[in-house]
């Protein structure tokens, strides 16, 4: 990667940031213009992240280090692009296109500055995926959280404000833990650069090592709150089900951000050396507890929104559990599961709103959304740019069935392939003739049971929604609302058809991650760009 | 010096934790503010407590006698972000008070 393409790395942060600022200049009434600009930005992000993914999976060496302000690595902040962050960037971009298109039907009009907050959320997410510096991670985390507060409250209503208040309080407390963890690590290791930190960890004296590990533990709690590990997850189902549909759709990636950072830091900092395997047990047992709690929640949920919220927990629990075992082949299956379950849950959150539109009685969530529609319908003549679909129920039903199949991990869609990859790797962990350990059996049983639970509750909800609707009212669904859902489900189909190359990519990703030396060397050896006139950098380059 | 700093951080953290476990929104926000002050002091502390040493490089003066500038930069960022998010929380708190008619964190208290 050389020349101008190198600067593509910073585009996922700069493009939404500039667009968010630009959108502030437009009056709230120029909704169409704002929507078009916002949509253009997310489409650019898709193109950019596809390009980055191609570069990363190409034959070139690891060369995705971007020195901000042209300062060498431990002194300046770096952005690092590797196969994992490229994958997460693409996933974020795809989800954001779907959520944004969905919101154009009505949701972006029920409050002020929807598009600005949406773009800032993307800034935070993309920045957190790219950054190679712990404190910079905090800043991007806060950018993301601050805009997510706004988005969660978008549309207002008592239920949303109440859920939002809990969400904000929990996340503010988590941010403080984040700071304590970061400063403890800085106090003991003397650096905040992730690569530099990983290189220095073996040299920390034993009496300070404990303090460093305490810092890492406190830091980990902050991410586990975001990822929704039991018992840090009680805010999650309420907050996600209270959010408006497109917002919940993009929130699906936020819990995966917690997983991503835990994956990155454990592989980088605690892969080898005297602190190897630090926190693995917490992840394993925490993941087991989370998946059990999530499964019970899925079975107990009456409202579809809560069902989706608990599905987020099941997916987080599965991933945490796998991170706890930290075995290469299982982890690459888990990465596929991460992509597949994020796409599914995002599609499901948006689908729920369309399905529930047809039900008059029932869920509490509905009461809030109905109220929001009431406000929106009054002054929204421009929204009729789509047609009411014939055979709406059939299409909704097919999408719902697809979500059920994906969530429970039945063939033929990508949920099955991801779970199969994980399970077969788990069963294969013992050498030939050696049976898998008891822990592995527990994990296998839990993964299967959580799938069955998802199947039971999806079937139950499906029968209640599609077969026994009391009045038989067909919800009014616009084309631009159902298309994003179908787009996301189509992506899972594509993931199924292209499972071979996808698994190969995940394998490469995990192999790169489990050799932290590649990352460390790339960041430490990243060369500063010489002055524009080619003169030696004597510090007097500007005349 | 260390003892005073540690006591201050400990007392503020203790008060902050107690307050954020209270059922009134105003107490929660005061608790969060206290916690963030404690965290800010803590960040100063990890750089090493020194008096009368500026974080400025001077020729001939060994770097070990300098104050570490990084925690100060971190604190500055943390203060700005902390204020912004606390202000945002205050707005939500007021909205919740207006919508539910109570300042209970669950919005479920008996109306007065």
Q: What is the pLDDT of residues A18-68, one digit of tens each?
A: 999 999 888 878 888 888 899 999 999 999 998 888 877 765 555 688 888
Both tokens assigned to A295 = 């499964």
Chain A hits for B39, Cβ within 8 Å: 176, 179-180, 183
Contact between A20 and A123 under an 8 Å Cβ cutoff? The reply is: yes
ipTM of the complex: 0.91
- Residue A430 has a pLDDT of 57
**A187: chain B residues, CB-CB within 8 Å:** 45-47
Using the beta-carbon criterion (under 8 Å), do A161 and B92 form an inter-chain contact? yes
Is B57 part of any domain? Answer: no
Structural domain includes residue B107: no
CB pair distance less than 8 Å for B46 and A146: no
Q: Which residues of B touch A158 (CB under 8 A)?
A: 96, 99-100, 107
Roughly what angle, to the nearest 10 degrees, separates helices A304-325 and A206-227? Answer: 150
Domain assignment present for B56: no
Residues 152-181 of A with CB under 8 A from B: 153, 156-158, 161-162, 164-166, 168-169, 172-173, 175-176, 179-180
Optimal mutation site among A174, A179, A372, interface B, most CBs of chain B within 10 A? A179
Residue B28 has pLDDT above 70, yes or no: yes
Would B6 be classed as within a structural domain? yes
CA distance A409 to A446: 13
User: Three-state DSSP class for A43?
Assistant: helix
Q: What is the pLDDT of residue A119?
A: 93
Closest CA to A315 of A407, A243, A244, A222: A407
> ∠ CA(A237), CA(A241), CA(A245), 5° rounding?
140
Quote the pLDDT of residue A289: 92
Cα dihedral A417→A423→A424→A428 (10° resolution): 160
How close, in Å, is residue A217 to chain B by CA atoms? Answer: 16
pLDDT above 70 coverage of chain B, percent: 96
Q: Which pLDDT score is estimated for A538?
A: 43
Q: Is residue B110, in this structure, part of any structural domain at all?
A: no
Q: What is the pTM of this model?
A: 0.87
Tokens representing A169 are 């309080």
Q: Does A267 touch chain B (CB under 8 A)?
A: no
Q: What distance in Å separates residue A171's CA from the closest CA in chain B? A: 10
B35 touches chain A (CB under 8 A): yes
The chain-wide mean pLDDT, for chain A, equals: 82
User: What pLDDT, on the 0 to 100 scale, is given for residue A433?
Assistant: 58
pLDDT at A26: 86
Measure in Å the smallest separation between the Cα of A232 and chain B Cα atoms. Answer: 15
Residue numbers of the domain that contains B77: 2-49+68-100
Q: How many CA atoms lie within 13 A of A38 on its CB side?
A: 31
**φ/ψ (deg, to 5) at A29:** -75, -20
Q: Please give, rounded to a whole number of angstroms, the shortest distance from the CA of A406 to a CA of chain B.
A: 35
pLDDT of B84-106, one tens digit each? 888 888 988 888 888 887 778 77
Token pair belonging to A212: 């460093």
Q: Is B67 on the interface with A (CB under 8 A)?
A: no
pLDDT score of A156: 77
Q: Is B24 inside any structural domain?
A: yes
Q: How many angstroms from the chain centroid is the CA of residue A85? A: 11
Chain-chain contact of B106 with A175 (C-beta, under 8 angstroms): no
Q: Tell me the mean pLDDT in the region B5-18.
A: 93
Q: Which of A146, A156, A173 is nearest residue B20 as measured by Cβ atoms?
A: A173
Domain assignment present for residue B87? The answer is yes
Where do the DSSP E strands lie in A307-380? none
**Residues of chain A whose pLDDT is less than 70?**
1-3, 58-63, 358-390, 429-435, 468-474, 531-543
Compute φ and ψ for A65, nearest 5 degrees.
-100, 125
Q: A381 phi and psi, to 5 degrees?
A: -70, -25
- Identify whether B28 is part of a domain: yes
Check residue A326 and give its pLDDT.
76
Report how many domains make up chain B.
1
Token pair 């009680």: residue: A234
> What is the residue whose two structure tokens read 């060397």?
A521
Which stretches of A270-303 are DSSP H helices? 280-300
DSSP-based three-state secondary structure for A66:
strand
Joined together, the tokens standing for residue B28 give: 């929660």
């Amino acid at each position: 990667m050389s020349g101008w393409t190198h600067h593509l790395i910073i585009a996922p942060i700069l493009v939404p940031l500039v667009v968010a600022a630009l959108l502030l200049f437009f009056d709230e009434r120029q909704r169409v213009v704002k929507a078009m600009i916002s949509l253009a930005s997310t489409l650019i992000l898709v193109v950019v992240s596809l390009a980055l993914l191609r570069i990363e999976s190409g034959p070139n060496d690891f060369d995705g280090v971007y020195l901000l302000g042209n300062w060498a690595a431990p002194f300046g902040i770096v952005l690092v692009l590797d196969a994992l962050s490229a994958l997460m960037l693409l996933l974020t971009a795809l989800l954001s296109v779907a959520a944004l298109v969905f919101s154009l039907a009505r949701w972006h009009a029920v409050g002020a500055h929807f598009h600005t907050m949406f773009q800032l959320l993307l800034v935070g997410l993309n920045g957190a995926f790219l950054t190679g510096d712990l404190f910079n991670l905090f800043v991007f985390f806060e950018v993301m959280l601050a805009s997510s507060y706004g988005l969660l409250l978008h549309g207002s209503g008592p239920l949303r404000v109440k859920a939002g208040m809990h969400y904000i309080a929990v996340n503010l407390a988590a941010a403080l833990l984040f700071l304590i963890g970061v400063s403890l690590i800085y106090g003991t290791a003397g650096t905040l650069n992730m690569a530099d930190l990983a290189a220095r960890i073996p040299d920390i004296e034993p009496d300070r090592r404990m303090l460093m590990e305490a810092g890492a533990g406190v830091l980990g709690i902050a991410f586990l709150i975001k990822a929704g590990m039991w018992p840090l997850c009680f805010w999650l189902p309420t907050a996600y089900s209270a959010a408006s549909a497109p917002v919940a759709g993009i929130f699906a990636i936020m819990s995966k951000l917690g997983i991503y950072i835990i994956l990155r830091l454990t592989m980088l900092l605690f892969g080898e050396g005297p602190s190897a395997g630090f926190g693995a047990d917490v992840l394993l047992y925490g993941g087991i507890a989370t998946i059990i709690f999530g499964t019970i929640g899925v079975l107990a949920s009456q409202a579809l929104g809560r069902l989706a919220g608990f599905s987020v927990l099941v997916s987080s629990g599965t991933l945490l559990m796998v991170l706890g075992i930290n075995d290469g082949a299982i982890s690459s299956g888990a990465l596929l599961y991460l992509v597949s379950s994020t796409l599914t849950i995002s599609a499901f959150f948006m689908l729920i709103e369309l399905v529930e539109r047809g039900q008059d009685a029932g869920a509490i969530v509905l009461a809030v959304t109905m109220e929001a529609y009431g406000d929106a319908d009054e002054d929204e003549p421009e929204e009729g740019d789509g047609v009411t679909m014939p055979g709406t129920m059939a299409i909704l039903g097919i999408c719902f069935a697809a979500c059920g199949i994906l969530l429970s991990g039945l063939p033929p869609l990508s949920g099955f392939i991801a779970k199969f990859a994980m399970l077969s790797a788990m069963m294969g962990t013992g050498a030939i003739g050696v049976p898998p350990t008891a822990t592995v059996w527990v994990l296998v049983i839990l993964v299967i049971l959580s799938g069955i639970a998802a199947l039971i509750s999806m079937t139950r909800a499906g029968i209640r929604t599609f077969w026994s609707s009391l009045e038989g009212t067909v919800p009014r669904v616009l084309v631009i609302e159902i298309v994003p859902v179908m787009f996301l489900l189509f992506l899972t189909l594509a993931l199924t058809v292209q499972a071979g190359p996808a698994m190969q990519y995940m394998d490469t990703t995990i192999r790169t991650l489990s050799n932290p030396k590649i990352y460390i060397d790339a960041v430490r050896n990243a060369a500063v760009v010489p002055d524009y006139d080619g003169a030696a950098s004597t510090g007097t380059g500007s005349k | 010096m260390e003892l005073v700093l540690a006591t201050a951080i400990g007392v503020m953290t203790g008060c902050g934790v107690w307050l954020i476990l209270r059922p009134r929104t105003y107490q929660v926000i005061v608790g969060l503010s206290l916690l963030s002050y404690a965290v800010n002091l803590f960040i100063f502390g990890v750089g090493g407590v020194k008096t009368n040493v500026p974080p400025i490089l001077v020729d001939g003066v060994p770097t070990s006698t300098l104050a570490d500038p990084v925690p100060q930069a971190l604190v500055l960022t943390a203060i700005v972000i902390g204020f912004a998010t606390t202000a945002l929380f205050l707005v939500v708190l007021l909205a919740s008070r207006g919508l539910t008619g109570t300042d209970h964190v669950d919005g479920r208290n008996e109306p007065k």
